[in-house]
Structure 1
């Protein structure tokens, strides 16, 4: 097991050294994005059902639910639930959108390295230019992969949040 972890760590270090320092920024943004998405999944599956059950119990305990005042209370509660469900979703979507841009930053820094090598050694040293091209392409690929994983899971999460909110709204029915 320890050998596997050491091999994995060496592979990650090699990948980061091939792609340059921008890969560390991509990794940080990816880590932050996934921590926030996992927190939202936790809230949706663990905390929100308790909140929903409590809200439905409070609504069912009301004597009247058909007046104008009761409708406004219901709307306020649904709005509060929507706010709690959608907390941090804008940050997640922003991080997803930023991932490809950070990858492009890596492309620019890698190409600057290529031009530096060309300026110092000329165009005859293909091996020296290859390192800069590798530094240019790896962050772009990493940023795109990070964004794709984020797009897929944040879209699914967003859909589940909307369904949960609709179910809550349907559960707060009017009594005549």
Structure 2
């Protein structure tokens, strides 16, 4: 979630100032039709796009890891249940309840993290794509 919050802060606070600097730099150019001007234009757009796109591969990786961590907690909880069963037998449900609770809670936590992360990532990606389209129309030749 920290990466998602960082991306939101970048999009709302940092990117607008970088965008205005790039637009000001482009507007101050007298020559906007030469090859070198087109390269500068592409460089300005590329830097802004790269700023918008950065961090999303890491966010995707963390979202993919969330269910796996939940599964790891599930396995750990079930090992605890089997350990209790080995020591006390299957006739002690109270002793097994702790391991089962740990298994279920970790599964739920992994799924909640992954699902909420996917939703937040989807919203941020849409916001970034909208901003990229806006950049293309604003910083035109």
1:81 aligns with 2:48: yes
Task: Could you tell me which runs of 5 or more consecutive residues in structure 2 were left unpaired when the two chains were aligned.
Answer: none
1:52 aligns with 2:19: yes
Task: Could you tell me which runs of 5 or more consecutive residues in structure 1 were left unpaired when the two chains were aligned.
Answer: 1-33
**Alpha-carbon separation, structure 2, partners of 1:80 and 1:129:** 56
**Alpha-carbon separation, structure 1, partners of 2:94 and 2:138:** 66
Q: Which residue of 2 aligns with 1:121?
A: 88
Structure 1 residue 62 displacement after superposition: 1.1
Q: Which residue of 1 aligns with 2:70?
A: 103
Corresponding residue SS for 2:4: helix
When the two structures are superposed, what TM-score results if normalisation uses the length of structure 1? 0.75
**Alpha-carbon separation, structure 2, partners of 1:48 and 1:135:** 42
Q: Which residue of 2 aligns with 1:35?
A: 2
Count of aligned positions: 141
**Alpha-carbon separation, structure 2, partners of 1:98 and 1:110:** 18
Q: Which residue of 2 aligns with 1:134?
A: 101
**Alpha-carbon separation, structure 1, partners of 2:14 and 2:63:** 25
- CA distances 1:75-99 after superposition (whole Å, capped 9, x unpaired): 1211111111222222222111111
**Alpha-carbon separation, structure 2, partners of 1:81 and 1:112:** 50
1:156 aligns with 2:133: no
1:63 aligns with 2:30: yes
- Once superposed, what is the RMSD of the aligned Cα atoms? 1.3
Q: Which residue of 2 aligns with 1:168?
A: 135
Structure 1 residue 114 displacement after superposition: 0.9
**Alpha-carbon separation, structure 1, partners of 2:43 and 2:83:** 60
Stretches of 4+ moved more than 6 A in 1? Answer: none
**Alpha-carbon separation, structure 1, partners of 2:137 and 2:19:** 11
